[in-house]
């Protein structure tokens, strides 16, 4: 989408480091051409940010559905689509179709299925899917149990220059578990698995990443033990990165009391000590990405006995305000928040976006970081309102959104 030149004035620029600084940004030909002390030129469309933040559009790494109204509400201009679709994204034609599905007002970046049918046994046509538009490869909701298959996958992706996005739970241990083993799961009588199932999966995949030299991104790391493994691997130069969703740094397994199926997640909510470990890992840089895990689920999936309900939450609309709670709590700076939400996921996907720099694509969000609102599952823009944060007061709202320098209504 190429619009006429645009100059956004009167805002505070969220740059890669430091506090937001007063300034303006000029966009032409879909890209940022000037930043800072910028004067609009004749013929420019001028937008007054009114003192709000001028920030990069969010890059959401690992959504399960294309849900434009929710993405636009949340300030998301790019979304990496998980391969768990019907049918899975394990064929170049499906990848090509998915890559076109968001245009013109947002980019969808498909993640190619690592194996045929996401069954974990036979590698899919990864090179052809890369050529069709896949920006990374993903194992989907599941873990590849066969270490030989995983090693072949990593070696192939290292050769292709693709990141492997993996789900970190040892399926042999988790089985049909829907909760983390502990007091809460015992009291509720829920099928549960020890938190160590995550650490075992992470340890194996770190070892294979070292052997292969591949880049591995753990989509969600939610336990202290697994985070320690990632921290140590990074320290010795292994090419691993880690992500998390707001649910795992805000909620613990105590939320399951009352069998609240909107709190049924994959991986499941953890004990409070692990939740605090996630916050610490965001603060010290062990976690690189915060994503929404957007997975809208209707009543047919959620109004069931807890063990039968599908996991997942509608997270696109709450991603930004919940991440900003970490800024208000002093865990991270504003610049670091947008690094987690924009720059790092864009870097993993290999796209020129996610930061305010001359030459990058003009995906820009105008953000009022102090604007209060209340999450309401009945009024969400998402295809379904399955949020565990229903009725929670939050602060931070996108008031205008631009894709390639064009205003999104």
- Separation between Cα atoms, residue 76 and residue 338, nearest integer Å: 12
- Separation between Cα atoms, residue 374 and residue 77, nearest integer Å: 23
* CATH level 2 (architecture), domain 57-354+369-396: Alpha-Beta Barrel (3.20)
Kindly report the number of other CB atoms within 10 A of residue 376's CB atom: 13
Q: Tokens standing for 122?
A: 């036979």
Kindly report the number of other CB atoms within 10 A of residue 295's CB atom: 28
Q: How far apart are the first and last CA of the chain?
A: 14
**Where along the chain do its domains lie?**
57-354+369-396
What is the pLDDT, as a whole number, of residue 105?
Answer: 87
What is the pLDDT, as a whole number, of residue 98?
Answer: 95
The answer for residues whose C-beta is within 8 angstroms of residue 271's C-beta and 6 or more apart is 180, 182, 184, 195, 252, 253
- Separation between Cα atoms, residue 233 and residue 288, nearest integer Å: 14
Contact 222, 198 (CB under 8 A): yes
Three-class SS state of 47: strand
DSSP-assigned states of every residue in 356-400 = --TTSB--EEEEEEEEEEE--TTS-SSSS---TTTT-EEEEEEEE
Three-class SS state of 76: strand
- Separation between Cα atoms, residue 316 and residue 298, nearest integer Å: 16
Angle at 247 between CA 245 and CA 249, to 5 degrees: 85
The CA-based dihedral angle spanning residues 219, 170, 113, 216, taken in that order and rounded to the nearest 10 degrees: 50
Contact 340, 332 (CB under 8 A): yes
Contact 159, 287 (CB under 8 A): no
What is the pLDDT, as a whole number, of residue 50?
Answer: 96
What is the pLDDT, as a whole number, of residue 1?
Answer: 47
Residue holding tokens 């209504």?
Answer: 409
Distances (CA, A) of 176 to 218, 266, 268, 304: 21, 11, 12, 16
Distances (CA, A) of 230 to 213, 241, 242, 305: 15, 8, 8, 35
- pLDDT tens-digit profile, the chain (409 residues): 456 899 999 999 999 888 999 999 999 999 999 999 998 999 999 999 999 999 999 999 999 999 999 999 999 999 999 999 999 999 999 999 999 988 888 999 999 999 999 999 999 999 999 999 999 999 999 999 999 999 999 999 999 999 999 999 999 999 999 999 999 999 999 999 999 999 999 999 999 999 999 999 999 999 999 999 999 999 999 999 999 999 999 999 999 999 988 999 999 999 999 999 999 999 999 999 999 999 988 888 888 998 999 888 999 999 999 999 999 999 999 999 999 999 999 999 999 999 999 999 999 999 999 999 999 988 888 878 889 999 999 999 999 999 999 999 7
User: Do the strands 364-374 and 21-28 form a parallel or antiparallel pair, or are they unpaired?
Assistant: unpaired
Nearest to 144 by CA among 136, 134, 154: 154
- Separation between Cα atoms, residue 44 and residue 255, nearest integer Å: 50
pTM for the whole structure: 0.95
What is the pLDDT, as a whole number, of residue 2?
Answer: 53
């Amino acid at each position: 989408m190429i619009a006429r030149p645009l100059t956004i004035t009167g805002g505070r620029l969220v740059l890669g480091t430091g506090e937001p600084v007063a300034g303006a940004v000029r966009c032409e030909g879909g890209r940022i051409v000037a930043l800072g002390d910028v004067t609009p030129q004749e013929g420019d469309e001028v937008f007054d940010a009114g003192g709000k933040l001028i920030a990069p559009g969010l890059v959401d790494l690992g959504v399960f559905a294309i849900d434009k109204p929710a993405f636009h509400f949340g300030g998301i201009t790019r979304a990496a689509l998980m391969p768990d679709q019907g049918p899975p994204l394990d064929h170049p034609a499906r990848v090509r179709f998915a890559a076109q599905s968001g245009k013109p007002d947002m980019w969808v970046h498909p993640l190619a299925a690592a194996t045929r049918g996401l069954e974990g046994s036979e590698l899919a046509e990864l090179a052809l899917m890369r050529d069709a538009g896949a920006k990374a490869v993903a194992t989907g909701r599941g873990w590849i149990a066969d270490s030989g298959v995983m090693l072949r996958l990593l070696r192939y992706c290292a050769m292709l220059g693709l990141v492997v996005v993996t789900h970190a739970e040892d399926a042999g241990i988790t089985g049909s578990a829907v909760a983390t083993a502990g007091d809460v799961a015992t009291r509720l009588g829920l099928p549960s698995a020890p938190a160590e199932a995550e650490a075992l999966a992470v340890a194996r995949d770190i070892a294979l990443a070292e052997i292969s030299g591949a880049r591995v991104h753990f989509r969600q790391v939610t336990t202290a033990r697994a985070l320690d493994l990632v921290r140590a691997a990074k320290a010795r130069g292994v090419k691993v990165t880690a992500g998390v969703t707001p649910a795992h740094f805000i909620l613990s397994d105590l939320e399951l009391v009352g069998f609240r199926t909107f709190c049924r997640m994959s991986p499941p909510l953890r004990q409070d000590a692990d939740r605090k470990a996630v916050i610490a890992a965001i603060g010290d840089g062990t976690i690189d990405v915060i994503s929404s895990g957007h997975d809208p689920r209707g009543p047919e999936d959620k109004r069931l006995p807890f063990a039968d309900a599908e996991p997942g939450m509608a997270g696109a609309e709450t991603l930004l305000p919940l991440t900003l709670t970490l800024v208000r709590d002093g865990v991270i700076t504003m610049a670091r928040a947008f690094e987690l939400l924009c720059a790092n996921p864009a870097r993993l996907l290999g796209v020129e976006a996610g930061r305010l720099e001359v030459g990058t694509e003009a995906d820009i969000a105008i953000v009022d970081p102090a604007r209060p609102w209340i999450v309401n599952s009945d009024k969400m823009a998402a295809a379904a309102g399955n949020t565990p944060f229903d009725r929670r007061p939050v602060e931070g709202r996108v008031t205008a959104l631009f894709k390639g320098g064009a205003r999104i209504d």
